[in-house]
Amino acid sequence: MNETEINWTQLSWNPASGCTPISEGCAHCYARTLAENKRGTRAFPVGFDVVEKPHKLMEPARVKAPSFIFTNSMTDMFHEAISDSYRDRVLDVMRSVPRHTYQVLTKRALRAAEFFATREVPGAMWLGCTVENQRRASERIPVLQSIPAPLRFLSIEPLLGAIDLRGQLDGIGWIIVGGESGCHLSDQRVCENRALVRRGTNGRPWVPREDRVAWVRDIRDQCSEAGVPFWFKQWGGTRGPIAGRELDGRVHDGRPAMAETTNRAA
């Protein structure tokens, strides 16, 4: 269990790690870079190959204060190389330690739906999908909506283009938006293709691209129309916080009304 700089959560818990690319948002995966840079170490002996880590299962029990926990930030919990029996063990921990809120993100919405077709989602688990562009939003959101989770949310990070979510937000309780970050944005061609930012001047290393601010603003306005809390994580750049997170002069940090981490039944 680790503290994290991800501003919409508090801790990260990784009872598994490793993944394989599945869509456009995976092209410059921070988790893959981190794990491969540490391949052969105690933390990542097999780099970003998928591996279950049962020795980490009971870490939430050792955290006494109710916390937001980004669960499996270094993998996709519904990756085909993770067994259903092991996923069941992860869910059992959530049920046995319900004082925390377990935030689970997947790009594999269909596999999540298949898994939960025969199981209940734990009461302490929030289930989210990453939808980085219009195509993935149209594919994944209806599947997420079919899963009876206590709270369903969207992570639109990295935001790679304008997205129209109107008519697609029934049952969605939270939306997080963020621009891509990482050293790969030093490559001007990659930056032009994927980033919400450009190189700045006058002491500001990175600034929002004027033509892409509208992508974020429009999602904010769609959330407002639908009554969905909106959290803007970052504009991005070579380091996540480097360009800040203000949109139209303010920080947007909406959370679901149920965000207080009080004890609850599993």
Q: Going by C-beta distance under 8 Å and a sequence separation of 6 or more, which residues neighbour residue 128?
A: 103, 104, 105, 106, 144, 152, 153, 154, 155, 174, 176
User: 202 pLDDT band (50/70/90 cuts)?
Assistant: confident
pLDDT cut 70: percent of the chain above it: 97
Would you say residue 204 has pLDDT above 90?
Answer: no
Would you say residue 226 has pLDDT above 50?
Answer: yes
Q: Going by C-beta distance under 8 Å and a sequence separation of 6 or more, which residues neighbour residue 245?
A: 7, 232, 233, 234, 235, 251, 252
User: 259 pLDDT band (50/70/90 cuts)?
Assistant: low
Q: What is the pLDDT of residue 264?
A: 41
- The average pLDDT across 49-71 equals 97
Q: What is the pLDDT of residue 197?
A: 95
Give domain limits for the chain: 2-259
Q: What is the pTM of this model?
A: 0.93
